[in-house]
Structure 1
Amino acid sequence: MKTVVSERDVTVVPAVRKKRKWTADHWLAAAFLTPSVVLIFIFVYGFIGWTGYVSLSNWNSLVPDLSFAGWKNYIYLFHDFRFQADLRNTVVFTVLFIGVVVVLGQFLAILLDQKLRGESIFRNIFFFPMALSFVVTGVIWQWLLNPSTGVNLFLKKFGLDSKWYTDTTILGGFHIGKIEGGVPVAMIAVVIAAVWQMTGFAVAMYLAGLRAIPEEVREAARMDGATEFQIYRKIIIPMLRPITVSVIIIMAHISLKIFDLIYAMTGPGANFVTDVPGVYMFETTFRGNYYANGAAIAMIMLLSVAIFIVPYLISSRKGES
């Protein structure tokens, strides 16, 4: 005689989760991590919070005044001619810098991927500028592009003369409120110096990506009748898209907070044609003692960098999960 058991008669017993006991290794790891976590919260997030509070205060003198001022410092900045010029220069520098680094880095990496003789020599040549600080790069290119020295002396022999990084001309000038929009010629000189230093990083990233692509992919495309140009345009370069995104994010992070290169090479420049928020913040805070205004500039710089970094980190976490 068979016994029929219905679903109603079946009792589902929930699985009991066993509490994981902390071993000596867990406690040791926590002991090592806790000081770092505490220091990060104090010296990173704590100071960010302090800077945000100062930016909303009236502390614009040597005597601290932490009384609440609201958005007064931010409103002042966005009506300030110099800060408007800084925003224009930052956009120009970021677009030109990222665009040239991505295109040039990709092109040079493809050339190095052709298994040329002396590849290691060319790699070292491209990577060497990365070993220098932006201050050294600024001094070097200041001498090279100086109207009375360097490259300009060579150009004068052919009847060519240029003010280079001291030129206050703005190409394609148009007015947005008080500020003249366009591309300052002097900023192009700064872009050249920054590209010279950071292109090696893009080359290294793209070269690693090219070497990770299996040769079978190229062989299959050749068997289908694709030319080398078509292989790179339709297959290889699209496969390098994650690396391109990484290069853009890292270069944007550098360009939005650039300070040392411009400060060593040109400074704010005449009519602020090479001024950026980092230089303005330094002079406002440590030379003018306008601490609240300087903190407001720092918070705006932080937010501009976060616009690029935070979405990238979120997408990266989703991709890993």
Structure 2
Amino acid sequence: MKGNHQQTAVDTDTTPQPKKRKNISTDQWTAIAFLVPSLVMIGVFVYGFISWTGYVSLSNWNTLAPDFSFAGLSNYIRLFGDFRFQSDLRNTLFFTVFFIVGVIILGLGIAILLDQKLRGEAFFRNVFLFPMALSFVVTGVIWQWLLNPSTGFNDFLAFFNIRPLWYTDTNILAGFQWGEIEFGIPVAIFAVVIAAVWQMTGFSLAMYLAGLRGIPDELREAARVDGASESQIYRKIVIPMLKPITFSVIIIMAHISLKIFDLVYAMTGPGANFVTDVPGLYMFETTFRGNFYAQGAAIAMIMLLFVAIFIVPYLWNSRRREN
């Protein structure tokens, strides 16, 4: 009886036991050791430099001699009242719109054609993907010659008595006075759009083609059994299912267009009356040729803000889907 009483006392003992400390394994320390240099480099050369650029944009450093005295938002206010920067915002707006629309329409259209199991599909797929292997500088030089008013395509169009000015055209379509500039569609920007779409259509083609190949054939067969035509199948089933891909293409192409520099620099430069100028080119010339470091930093921060407007919601939405 006494033994049973002692056994019960032992069983009902609720004294908290000390938790065992988990030691970090050698593999975990190795992983941390590999990650730390990358994290430090990112912290210094990405976020550190962004912070430094923001700090310089609020200073009076607009000469060769550093001047870090606080200037507030004066550099930003001066920019938004500047004729060239207003032209850059106009050009970027229309370039982004036409560039994204062109890449989506051509990429989706070609992907649908290649999805028909045509003979020589691999050859045509490589042809459309090839421009992505080139840099924007090479693309700019090629299209500068092709769209030169005195050579290139105009040698052929001359037989029809047509000679477009391409990127040298200073006309503004549907223009009206807005601030310091004539707000409308710069005709010259279409030349840059053509070159950019030619290079980046392969990217959207690859994404759309992968999406089309991922749609089960059973869905299409079921729609055909119900009497749907091929056009109805694509309009009401296939294309709606490609919306996530379209959203990704829009985000990536918007990111490229908002910070475009090398293509414009190699192909047209600012253009007459700044009809093909973009913020990236203005920032380069302001900072490294004009030595207006604070104003150049302000342009860079505005470009970063424009890119963040597209990228941050996309990353946030992707994170919510994963959770």
Is this a same-fold pair by TM over 0.5?
Answer: yes
What is residue 81 of structure 2 aligned with on the other side? 79
Structure 2 Cα separation of the partners of residues 17 and 190 of structure 1: 66
Structure 1 Cα separation of the partners of residues 71 and 305 of structure 2: 20
Structure 2 Cα separation of the partners of residues 63 and 54 of structure 1: 13
Alpha-carbon shift at residue 19 of structure 1 (Å): 5.2
What is residue 118 of structure 2 aligned with on the other side? 116
Query: Closer, same or farther in 2 for the Cα pair 1:313/1:18, shift >3 Å?
Result: farther
Structure 1 Cα separation of the partners of residues 207 and 301 of structure 2: 31
Structure 2 Cα separation of the partners of residues 286 and 305 of structure 1: 22
What is residue 60 of structure 2 aligned with on the other side? 58
1:137-195 alpha-carbon deviations (Å, 9 max, x no partner)? 00000000101111011111221111111000111111112211111111001000000
Match of 2:183 among 181, 184, 188: 181
Q: Secondary structure at the match of 1:85?
A: helix
Q: Secondary structure at the match of 1:62?
A: coil
Structure 1 Cα separation of the partners of residues 280 and 17 of structure 2: 57
Contact 2:188 2:276 in 1 (8 A): yes
Asked if 1:97 corresponds to 2:96, the answer is: no
Contact 2:82 2:180 in 1 (8 A): no
Asked if 1:221 corresponds to 2:223, the answer is: yes
Alpha-carbon shift at residue 21 of structure 1 (Å): 3.0
For 1:115, give the aligned amino acid: K
Alpha-carbon shift at residue 62 of structure 1 (Å): 0.4
Query: Closer, same or farther in 2 for the Cα pair 1:147/1:69, shift >3 Å?
Result: same
Alpha-carbon shift at residue 123 of structure 1 (Å): 0.3
What is residue 142 of structure 1 aligned with on the other side? 144
Query: Closer, same or farther in 2 for the Cα pair 1:30/1:176, shift >3 Å?
Result: same
Structure 1 Cα separation of the partners of residues 207 and 39 of structure 2: 30
Which deviates further from its counterpart, 36-45 or 155-164? 155-164
Question: TM-score, normalised to structure 1's length?
Answer: 0.94
What is residue 7 of structure 1 aligned with on the other side? none
Structure 1 Cα separation of the partners of residues 136 and 67 of structure 2: 35
Structure 2 Cα separation of the partners of residues 269 and 303 of structure 1: 25
For 2:146, give the aligned amino acid: L
What is residue 244 of structure 1 aligned with on the other side? 246
What is residue 88 of structure 1 aligned with on the other side? 90
Contact 2:189 2:276 in 1 (8 A): yes
Structure 1 Cα separation of the partners of residues 286 and 257 of structure 2: 20
Alpha-carbon shift at residue 254 of structure 1 (Å): 0.2
Structure 1 Cα separation of the partners of residues 97 and 26 of structure 2: 52
Query: Closer, same or farther in 2 for the Cα pair 1:16/1:164, shift >3 Å?
Result: farther
Structure 2 Cα separation of the partners of residues 151 and 107 of structure 1: 25
Structure 1 Cα separation of the partners of residues 296 and 16 of structure 2: 58
Q: Secondary structure at the match of 1:181?
A: strand
Query: Closer, same or farther in 2 for the Cα pair 1:164/1:30, shift >3 Å?
Result: same
Structure 1 Cα separation of the partners of residues 181 and 18 of structure 2: 67
Q: Secondary structure at the match of 1:157?
A: helix
Structure 1 Cα separation of the partners of residues 174 and 43 of structure 2: 46
Query: Closer, same or farther in 2 for the Cα pair 1:47/1:14, shift >3 Å?
Result: farther
Asked if 1:316 corresponds to 2:322, the answer is: no
Asked if 1:233 corresponds to 2:235, the answer is: yes
Query: Closer, same or farther in 2 for the Cα pair 1:281/1:214, shift >3 Å?
Result: same
Query: Closer, same or farther in 2 for the Cα pair 1:19/1:232, shift >3 Å?
Result: farther
Asked if 1:193 corresponds to 2:204, the answer is: no
Structure 2 Cα separation of the partners of residues 242 and 154 of structure 1: 41
RMSD value, Cα: 1.6
Question: TM-score, normalised to structure 2's length?
Answer: 0.94
